[in-house]
Amino acid sequence: MSKVAIMTDSNSGITQEHGKRLGIKVVPMPFFIDGEEYLEDISLTQEGFYQKLLGGASVSTSQPSIGYVTSIWDDLLQDNDSVVYIPMSSGLSKSCATATVAAEADEYKGKVFVVDNQRISVTQLQSVLDALEMADRGYTGEQIAKVLTDVKDQSDIFITLDTLEYLKKGGRITPAAAALGGLLKLKPILIIEGEKLDKYRMRNRSMENAKSIMIDSTREFIEGYMKDIDGRVDNVHVYIAYSGTDTTEAEKFADEIVDAYKDFGVTKVDYYPLSLSVSCHIGDGALAIAISKAIPEKI
């Protein structure tokens, strides 16, 4: 049986410790804060990130050195036949494209498979779990990468924000729109669908209203597009993601989703911190619901 190593980056929300338990390698994403470089979950904790972000520090994302990434491939290939690398969406970072080019080198061709399935955060995490499941089934690295790419459109993330300040800083909305939205206490909803973070519905007057819209929207996607795939609605993974360090609202939202999704067979919803790369653009206090279709039982 082919021996396949699975690898991802910290945008998946998988910590170094969790990665060790799963038996995978996690590349820490670099950040520049007031000109100083930090590595997620190595020299930068969730608490430290939000303390600096909310304190008004200049925070920007970067990408890992390709030399560092290929050095991990080299190590993994000593004991494995192939490596499946699942980085964050190419639409949100250049790191995926850089790794894809590097994997075309003679020493990696046919051995390292970079998956560009346009996932991030908890949907990226689910791709890692799916890859591990397929590796256990005996699939090759090439087969695993193909399946993950084939199902890339079978996921969505809806995010509602507590503040418009960081969308304004990132140039996604104008200062005037941010000021008006703040005055009206709007809770906009963004969507990560495919390769970009985009506007979904901007004029929601309360967090409860926004959560209700997100639940209805994901239900519609499950009962429509996802059901059309195989006729089933009971094989969809559901997660909550949040920004900040307080899990109170995430816990509450998870209970609300279990109640709303009972007819889909959902009995428990796990919650994880949103990728810090996304949090740079949306700030503290965001809530997200993510769904992804289970991989096929056979390929």
Question: What's the pLDDT score for residue 297?
Answer: 83
The whole-number pLDDT of residue 90 equals 72
Compute mean pLDDT per 10 residues along the chain, 299 residues long, and list them. 92 94 96 93 93 90 93 97 92 84 96 93 95 96 96 91 61 38 59 66 72 93 95 96 93 95 94 85 89 88
β-bridge mates for residue 291, sequence order: 156, 238
Residue 190's beta-bridge partner residues? 159, 199
Q: What is the pLDDT of residue 170?
A: 47
**Residue 111 neighbours by CB under 8 Å, 6+ apart:** 77, 81, 82, 83, 141
Do the two domains 4-29+64-150 and 155-293 of this chain adopt the same fold? no
**CA angle 131–144–292, rounded 5-degree value:** 55
Which pLDDT score is estimated for 144?
A: 97
pLDDT at residue 178, rounded to an integer: 37
Structural domain spans, the chain:
4-29+64-150, 155-293
Q: Could you report the per-residue pLDDT of 108-157, keeping only the tens digit for each?
A: 999 999 999 889 899 999 999 999 999 999 999 999 999 999 999 999 99
Residue 36 bridge partners (DSSP): 33
Which residues share a beta bridge with 17?
none
Query: How far are the Cα atoms of 29, 61, 68, 232 from residue 40, in angstroms, in the given order?
Result: 5, 10, 15, 38
Query: 4-29+64-150 in CATH: which number?
Result: 3.40.50.10440
Which residues, 6 or more positions from 261, have their beta carbon under 8 angstroms from its beta carbon?
219, 238, 269
Position 208 scores a pLDDT of: 87
Among 3.30.1180.10, 3.40.640.10, 3.40.50.11260, 3.40.50.720, what is the CATH number of 155-293?
Answer: 3.30.1180.10
